[in-house]
Structure 1
């Protein structure tokens, strides 16, 4: 079983580990190998622990937790399950694009194409709508192979910019859902039957 719930401070270490694992997978051959090998789950965990407890600006973190037969066999079982993905966001840092922003969405490779990313995006979209955001956006590196996921959810490419990241110049693009109901509709659970 995989459930989506609000993150707790105790989830920070697992979130940091998911962050590092997904970056090493998604950005192999895109970002310098040295940069990827130097990523620290502990450093990321510290940042995520702060993000979990700091709810200013409508900020929230949600986790996907696998338990029972869905739990990863290579990770020690934990009470309540194992964090296999997460999403974070809040009010947009650049409100000229949208009112709400999905800041991160990371999911372990073995849990892709199972609807978990869609469920995480729905949790964040519902949260952003609940805190008064009428639109949502996110930035993704143009070389990120998963960027098509956002288009399949109805995200409209709205901006591009070149940033300096990991010692090199890279292009990132913004996807926007305006109104936010377009993202809520795209991530709605499929009817049963």
Structure 2
């Protein structure tokens, strides 16, 4: 298993991981109808744009067979107007690779990127019912604020966490 910067040729593989991991991660959190309608093609277009964006940093986890089994990306959301800060936008893994340290490797790569960018604060948005929030809390994220988000007509709690010491996070990794 290794982590590398994503390239445009990875967009299709990232899209597959994105859709498949949403279907496993958000089952019983968002509607089955919404999950059923997720599209590899739509996500591929999204990832072509994300990878092409010079302000977005995307990394992939690749298994020994050369297959993309996870991805993560970071940068600064348009809604983030806090100086010297960035956003962990996503980390997703195929279900069979969860709990094996792959997410931790991707997480570390993102924080190395934040450090390189000179950020001193990092934010992440996570649905309250998504167990990944405990991973973030373990690595020192503190609840910054909560909000509501509507997905497929269902109102869900969105938690925004913050890390205020990137070096501290990296020392735990």
TM-score, normalization: structure 2?
Answer: 0.94
1:65 and 2:59 correspond: no
Gaps in structure 1 of 5+ consecutive residues: 69-80, 188-193
Question: For 2:145 and 2:169, how far apart are their aligned partners in 1?
Answer: 18
Size of the aligned set, in residue pairs, is 172
Q: 1:90 aligns with which of 53, 72, 75?
A: 75
- SS at 2:100's partner residue? coil
Report if aligned partners of 1:63, 1:84 keep a CA contact under 8 Å in 2: yes
The 1:98–1:164 alpha-carbon spacing in structure 2 relative to 1, beyond 3 Å, is: farther
Distance 1:94 1:161 in 2: 15
Runs (4+) off by over 6 Å: none
| Residues 43-93 of structure 1, C-alpha deviations (whole Å, 9 max, x = no match) | 10111111111113xx2000000014xxxxxxxxxxxx0000000110244
Whether contact under 8 Å (1:98, 1:178) holds in the other structure is: no
Q: Pick which of 32-41 and 90-99 moved more.
A: 90-99
Aligned residues: CA RMSD: 1.5
Q: Distance in 2 between matches of 1:146 and 1:154?
A: 13
Output the CA distance in 2 between the equivalents of 1:144 and 1:45: 24
The within-5 A match list for 1:33-182 is: 33-56=32-55, 59-68=56-65, 81-92=66-77, 93-96=79-82, 99-182=85-168
CA shift for structure 1 position 98:
7.0
Shift of residue 183 of structure 1?
A: 2.0
- C-alpha separation in 2, matches of 1:55 and 1:122: 20
C-alpha contact 1:139 1:174 (8 A) present in aligned 2:
yes
Question: Contact 1:134–1:179 (CA<8 Å) still a contact in 2?
Answer: yes
Question: Mind listing any 5+ residue stretches in structure 2 that lack a counterpart?
Answer: none
Distance of aligned partners of 1:10 and 1:134 in 2 relative to their CA distance in 1, 3 Å threshold: same
Give distance in 2, aligned partners of 1:10 and 1:152.
Answer: 34
Find the aligned partners of 2:38 and 2:84 in 1 and give their Cα distance.
30
Contact 1:163 1:171 in 2 (8 A): yes
